[in-house]
């Protein structure tokens, strides 16, 4: 294990997601209007990518392949619906409790990897895992006492 460099990708994802949530929280618009504005902001980039895909011959949306057309067509709603529900959930219960839910997936992935796939689990990872969950429990206990 190397401790000589920062986990840049993880930091970029964490800060960009945090910045996105901060903006969504500060800009007081309805969920559907906010999602529409976000989609319109991304639209020029999506059009550019679709153009590049098309001119390079990587377009899989063809009449000859109806199952693939259906999957590509459903990709939009399967992306927008969870994002809409997430933003609506943040509006209803706040960023704190919503953020705590994000610890469930990595924990389940750890349990699956360790118990089902017999992945190696070092002492460093165990200590880190325990410290993270202690922090989550302390936060949730404090959150519960303040309400």
- Range picked from 35-44, 54-63, 104-113, 134-143 for highest mean pLDDT: 35-44
pLDDT tens readout for residues 26-55:
888 888 888 888 889 999 998 999 899 888
Residue 2 in this model has a pLDDT that exceeds 70: no
Euclidean distance between the first and final Cα of the chain, in Å?
42
73: left (phi over 0), alpha (psi -120 to 50) or beta: alpha
Q: What is the dihedral of CA 145, 15, 74, 85, to 10 degrees?
A: 20
Q: How far apart are the C-alpha atoms of 39 and 122, rounded to whole Å?
A: 43
Quick one: average pLDDT of 108-134? Answer: 87
pLDDT tens readout for residues 89-106:
888 887 777 777 778 878
Split at pLDDT 50, 70, 90, the class of 117 is: very high
Domain boundaries, the chain: 31-93, 94-147
Residue 132 structure tokens: 């993270």
Residue 75 structure tokens: 């990709």
Give the number of residues written for the chain: 147
- Helix axis angle, 31-55 to 66-93, nearest 10°: 150
What pLDDT sits at residue 44? 95
Average pLDDT, the chain: 84
Residue 124 in this model has a pLDDT that exceeds 90: no
- Residues contacting residue 140 through CB under 8 Å, at least 6 positions apart: 100
What is the pTM for the complete model shown? Answer: 0.59
């Amino acid at each position: 294990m190397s401790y000589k460099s920062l986990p840049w990708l993880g930091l970029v994802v964490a800060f960009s997601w945090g910045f996105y949530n901060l903006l969504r929280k500060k800009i007081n618009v309805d969920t559907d209007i906010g999602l529409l504005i976000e989609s319109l902001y991304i639209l020029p980039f999506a059009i550019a990518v679709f153009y590049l895909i098309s001119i390079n011959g990587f377009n899989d949306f063809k009449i000859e392949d109806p199952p693939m057309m259906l999957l590509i067509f459903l990709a939009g709603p399967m992306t927008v619906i969870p994002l809409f529900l997430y933003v609506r959930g943040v509006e209803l219960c706040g960023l704190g409790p919503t953020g705590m839910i994000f610890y469930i997936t990595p924990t389940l992935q750890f349990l699956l990897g360790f118990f089902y796939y017999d992945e190696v689990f070092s002492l460093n990872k165990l200590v880190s895992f325990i410290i993270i969950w202690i922090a989550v429990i302390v936060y949730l206990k404090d959150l519960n006492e303040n309400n």
